[in-house]
Structure 1
Amino acid sequence: MRSPRSDSVTLLLHELHRLPVVCRVDFKLLVFTYKSMHNDAPEYLCELVCPYQPTRTLRNANNNMLEVKRTRTKAGDCSFAVAAASLWTNLPTVIKTCDNFTSCKRLLKTHFFRIAYQCSST
């Protein structure tokens, strides 16, 4: 697709229905998270994902939340276990409770597309 150099890349990505790089990375991370929660990922990734189990009875106990581990460094925040859990916990409940992989991917992409282009959509 040819466009003038002065055109905005954001509008071109929106037109091509492509996610920006930051959203694409988060999307891929959440796909691996979904797979590791359902034991479809490699075993070393499945071991890093820990379901959240509250110490007392809470209303949100069955929302498919993950335990977010605390870290002391920025590098620790970028590890798969921490980044996946924090992104997964911040997702809408509809996506977290989805049983089908293809529908989960579709909902994830729609979610990130809305986040990425909410200000540019008219």
Structure 2
Amino acid sequence: MTDHHLKLNLGKTELLFLPGKDCPFHDLAITVDNSIVSSSQSAKNLGVILDNTLSFSTNIKAVARSCRFMLYNIRRVRPCLTQEAAQVLIQALVISRLDYCNSLLAGLPACAIKPLQLIQNAAARLMFNLPKFSHVTPLLRSLHWLPVEARIRYKTMVVAYGAVRGTAPQYLQALIRPYTQTRALRSSTSGLLASLPLRKYSSRAAQSKLFAALAPQWWNKLPHDSGVNHHLPETPETPPLSGIPRIG
């Protein structure tokens, strides 16, 4: 940083240490300019809170807490709003927060992302002014909202689509390989992706959270056109890469 004429603010410097499975120690500290920077349990990067176990539990709690605060404020003014105005507010202030960097949550169990699904359910009920325990599935269908788990999978497939088409960054393209066979088969022209070999990693649980493992697995389950190329499934709502869904 000195070579590039930059100054390091040690008061705002965070150190996040991610220990491996067989790591002999679980703590780390470095000395910078006679100041000791100790490792913390979590650190924020681009609005996402990363924890030292990469479970994203801290980030999910923060997102749920922020969304509950937004829903509380919208609920106070909901009697003065039309349904269209309420939809604009909820999608801009709540749903966009659920969608931000949600592809990082791919591979997590349903119990981990359940708090986010409860937020989406509460947002749908608030938009229609319904009681707390109203059935939410018809509401999500009428709003063309994908459930949280499906939104995570959709965003992952959007990133995979960019990697297949060559529009994603190189480090993502390197994780995706087309499925090839030594001899001509129908599957050779179906646009499938090669699965990640399990032997490269210590366990199936570690592999299940990797983009290189999830993307081919989910991609190969997509419907294809005439058995040639895979396409993303058409959905009523097509959120862009920024994570903010269309309003309409």
**TM-score, normalization by structure 2:** 0.39
2:163 paired with 1:36? yes
Q: Which structure shows the bigger proportion of residues in strand conformation?
A: 2
C-alpha distance in 2 between matches for 1:97 and 1:22: 25
The alignment-based identity, stated in percent, is 33
1:16 alignment counterpart:
143
Q: Which amino acid aligns with 2:152?
A: V
2:133 alignment counterpart:
6
C-alpha distance in 2 between matches for 1:11 and 1:5: 15
Does the 8 Å contact 2:177/2:194 carry over to 1?
A: yes
Secondary structure at the residue paired with 1:56? coil
- Please, what is the CA RMSD of the aligned residues? 2.0
Q: For 1:88, which of 200, 204, 219 is the aligned residue?
A: 219
Does the 8 Å contact 1:63/1:93 carry over to 2?
A: yes
Does the 8 Å contact 1:88/1:96 carry over to 2?
A: no
Q: Which amino acid aligns with 1:43?
A: Q
2:177 paired with 1:50? yes
1:108/1:70 CA distance change after superposition, 3 Å: farther
Structure number, greater radius of gyration: 2
Question: Shift of the alpha carbon at 1:108?
Answer: 4.1
Does the 8 Å contact 1:65/1:88 carry over to 2?
A: yes
2:153 paired with 1:26? yes
C-alpha distance in 1 between matches for 2:146 and 2:228: 20
Secondary structure at the residue paired with 2:188? helix
- Give unmatched runs, 5+ long, in structure 1: 99-103, 111-122
Higher relative contact order (CA 8 A, sep 6+): 1
Q: Which amino acid aligns with 1:97?
A: N
Question: Shift of the alpha carbon at 1:84?
Answer: 0.1
Deviations 1:17-72 (A, max 9, x none): 10001111110011100100011111110110000011211112111100011323
- Give unmatched runs, 5+ long, in structure 2: 1-126, 237-248
**TM-score, normalization by structure 1:** 0.76
1:69 alignment counterpart:
196
2:235 alignment counterpart:
109
Q: Which amino acid aligns with 1:77?
A: S
C-alpha distance in 2 between matches for 1:49 and 1:37: 7
Question: Shift of the alpha carbon at 1:4?
Answer: 1.7
